[in-house]
Amino acid sequence: MTGSKDDREFELTVNGKRLTVSGAPVGASLLSVLRDNLGLTGTKGACEEGECGSCSVMLDGNLVCACLVMASTVTEASIATIEGLAPSGTLSRVQEAFVDHGAVQCGFCTPGLIMAVSDLIDRQPNADRETIREELAGNLCRCTGYGRIIAAVESLLNEGDL
Ligand code: FES
Ligand code: FES
């Protein structure tokens, strides 16, 4: 029954906190539960079919599209969202680099890109430009043309002390 509410509560671990989800639609995606049930609206939804990357979050250390994950199936997982990168209000290194390089225009793609770049610099601290482009190919931006985003990432990799 599409759109019906799930009477059962379940819990998710998001940014290190155990949170109770109640009243979510049956089969709700992690994206919709994060935004609509838990109020974590930093994660954005656009295509809702795994094509744009705007909903990128970390799930047990892996970058995933939250729109493709059924929330009730990840109750034992560790989920990290954009809100978890700056819990005290101080920007993360990646967020600062985006600001410094003017890599944000409308900002809709930015949370997903910040999550993807944070993951990239952890996994591939020596990535070259081609690798950066390949790694970020799943995160679409309609505004920037990617040049300033790539520059922001390269500035992080060039710090040499990751
Ligand atoms: S909203 Fe999830 S990939 Fe586009
Ligand atoms: S800054 Fe607008 S979509 Fe990327």
pLDDT (0 to 100) of residue 1:
44
Q: Is the pLDDT of residue 128 over 80?
A: yes
The answer, yes or no, to whether any atom of ligand 2 lies below 6 A from the CB of 145, is: no
Give the tokens for residue 30: 């992690």
CATH pick for 93-157 out of 1.20.210.10, 1.10.150.120, 3.40.50.11540, 3.90.550.10: 1.10.150.120
The region of weakest confidence among 21-25, 71-75, 87-91, 113-117 is 87-91
CATH pick for 10-84 out of 3.10.20.30, 2.102.10.10, 3.40.50.1360, 3.30.470.10: 3.10.20.30
C-beta atoms surrounding 146 within 10 Å: 18
Q: Is the pLDDT of residue 7 over 70?
A: no
pLDDT (0 to 100) of residue 89:
87
Q: Closest Cα partner for 109 from 100, 119, 98?
A: 98
Q: pLDDT category, 5, cuts 50, 70, 90?
A: low
State which ligand 1 atom lies nearest to the alpha carbon of 55.
2
Q: Is the dihedral of CA 41, 42, 46, 48 positive or negative?
A: negative
In angstroms, the CA 51 to CA 36 distance is: 21
Q: pLDDT category, 8, cuts 50, 70, 90?
A: confident
Mean pLDDT over all residues of the chain?
94
Give ranges for CATH 1.10.150.120 in the chain. Answer: 93-157
C-beta atoms surrounding 151 within 10 Å: 16
124: Cβ contacts below 8 Å, ≥ 6 apart: 131, 135
Mutate to test the pocket of ligand 2, among 141, 146, 149, 150 (most ligand atoms within 8 A of CB): 141
For atom 3 of ligand 1, which residue has the closest CA?
A: 50
pLDDT tens per residue, range 83-115: 999 988 899 999 999 999 999 999 999 999 999
Q: Closest Cα partner for 85 from 74, 70, 96?
A: 96
Give ranges for CATH 3.10.20.30 in the chain. Answer: 10-84
